[in-house]
Amino acid sequence: MFGIFLGVCLWKFGNPVILDKQVIPPKTFAEALEISWPVGWGNWILGVLGVFGLLMVRPSVAIARTKAPLWLVMMPLVWLAWQLVSASRSVDPVLTQVTLPQLIGTVVCFFIGWFVLTQDGWPKLLLPGLLASFAFSMVRGANQHHFEFRRDYEILREGQATGWTNFSPEVLTSLKQGQLVVSTNGVDIANPMILEKLRRGRVHGTLVYPNAFAGAILLLLPMSLAVVFTGTGTLRPWLRRSVIGLTLGLGIGCLYWTGSKSGWLIGLGVASIGMLLRAPWSRRWKWGFTLGVAVGGLILFTWRFESYFSAGATSVSARLDYWRAAVQVVRENPLFGTGPGTFQRPYARLKTPEAEMARLAHNDYLQQYSDSGWPGGLAYLAWIIGSLSIACRKPKDPLIFGLFLGVLGWFAQGLSEFGLYIPALAWCAFTLLGVLLGLPTSAKLSGTDDAFQPS
């Protein structure tokens, strides 16, 4: 049930929580399948599952099995408690009110993963619902690249050229409600921002933001590859190669089509670590192949984003301005910050005149300091570093190793993105971090290491 819930999150709760008021609840079954859901629905489902998890929790057994220090057990609770203290002094209680349930859900997922889902055989039961949804998201991303975006771009251009006479009044009204068509000087035109997004073709799968989709790929692709490597050993060689090739091709292709610069570089780093530690070759071949992949990836990166760097790397400059403002906020509010989810309020005052407005700091770690001061920032950093330092001692089994690589890649992306504030990503990542932390060192999730050998 919890794996299915995480799969639904990846499918329906891909909006940042601070934008939840812009999500219109679906009114029909067709709309429920097509559009995102309000995050409040996810909070209620997680609450119900959390109650069931509480009835099955075995913290003493999980802690003893993990051999985790007591301070690490307490650190998520310290961080969350300080979020509540900071919330009482928030500069925008409305934003804080919608952010707090997301942060509470993150801690709940972490402890469910650690204290409940690491019981015998349960981690495997978590995977089908989650990975099936991830596969659907990748297929959706490929469809967006090859068909959907090009089709929508041409339809909007044709509609504008014909004065929208090729659309019924009901459809035109729907397009206006969705901001696909806007009025300028009394004339209906295709939204220029939407046209530009469609022209650029950055896919987002089942999420709403290309970089968030890149985060989902970083998190779940290594584990997906481990599953197909270890789970297809009994298939015919040609069929096994097809399944592995399809998974790898969809993952790399979708990551490329997201246009995420940091996602591409982190993906190269994660792939390099994976090959150096797990490739079944001699040391010379491993280093040679890894170096070749890294150099080839960087060359492709340079070619892919040549126009971006020629234009001055605008997103890098923007992020530097966000981070500069966040540091200034910490200086002004060192103890309590400005309140969970409120970065946009001080940034509106501190940003440079030419900078675009931002709602989040695009750095989960720095935003903790900005939102909740030094206590909140240090508690979050200690929680993540402490958990990853224990988890890195366990990746002997291929599936556990893939799980570790994915979690490592996602938390690395947190240095330049805001995945903590997207339920689809944060709830999945912290559940998997909890599972990884709670597994004993000798745990074995896959059938056999031999299945991990390439065809």
Q: What is the pLDDT of residues 234-286, one digit of tens each?
A: 888 889 999 999 999 999 999 999 999 999 999 988 888 888 777 777 777 77
pLDDT digits (tens, 9 = 90+) for 380-408: 999 999 999 988 876 678 888 999 999 99
What are the residues facing 233 on neighbouring strands?
Answer: none
| Residue 210 falls inside a structural domain | no
pLDDT of residue 350: 92
* Domain, as residue range, for 178: 153-199
| Residue in 382, 385, 375, 379 with CA at minimum distance from that of residue 330 | 375
- pLDDT band for position 448 (cuts 50, 70, 90): very low
Q: Which tokens is 254 given?
A: 């979708």
Torsion of CA 291, 292, 294, 297, to 10 degrees: 170
pLDDT digits (tens, 9 = 90+) for 3-12: 999 999 999 9
Separation of first and last alpha carbons in the chain = 34
Q: How far apart are CA 338 and CA 329, in angstroms?
A: 8
What are the residues facing 184 on neighbouring strands?
Answer: 187
Q: Which tokens is 384 given?
A: 């993540």
Per-residue CA distances from 376 to 78, 106, 111 (Å): 8, 15, 19
Q: Identify the weakest region by mean pLDDT among 50-54, 129-133, 245-249, 308-312.
A: 308-312
- pLDDT band for position 70 (cuts 50, 70, 90): confident
Q: What angle do CA 63, 68, 70 make, to 5 degrees?
A: 85
| Residue 190 falls inside a structural domain | yes
Q: How far apart are CA 373 and CA 335, in angstroms?
A: 5
- pLDDT band for position 378 (cuts 50, 70, 90): very high
- pLDDT band for position 454 (cuts 50, 70, 90): very low
Q: Is pTM, for the whole model, over 0.85?
A: yes
pLDDT digits (tens, 9 = 90+) for 142-170: 999 999 999 999 988 888 888 888 888 88
CB contact at 8 A, 315 and 261: yes
Q: Which tokens is 245 given?
A: 């090739």
| Residue 157 falls inside a structural domain | yes
| Residue 165 falls inside a structural domain | yes
| Residue 300 falls inside a structural domain | no
| Residue in 133, 168, 178, 128 with CA at minimum distance from that of residue 24 | 178
| Residue 444 falls inside a structural domain | no
Q: How many domains does the chain have?
A: 1
Q: What is the mean pLDDT of residues 81-85?
A: 96
| Residue 162 falls inside a structural domain | yes
| Residue 173 falls inside a structural domain | yes
pLDDT of residue 121: 67
Task: Tell me the average pLDDT of the chain.
Answer: 87
pLDDT of residue 312: 60
CB contact at 8 A, 418 and 361: yes
pLDDT digits (tens, 9 = 90+) for 291-343: 887 888 888 777 777 776 666 667 788 889 999 999 999 999 999 999 999 99
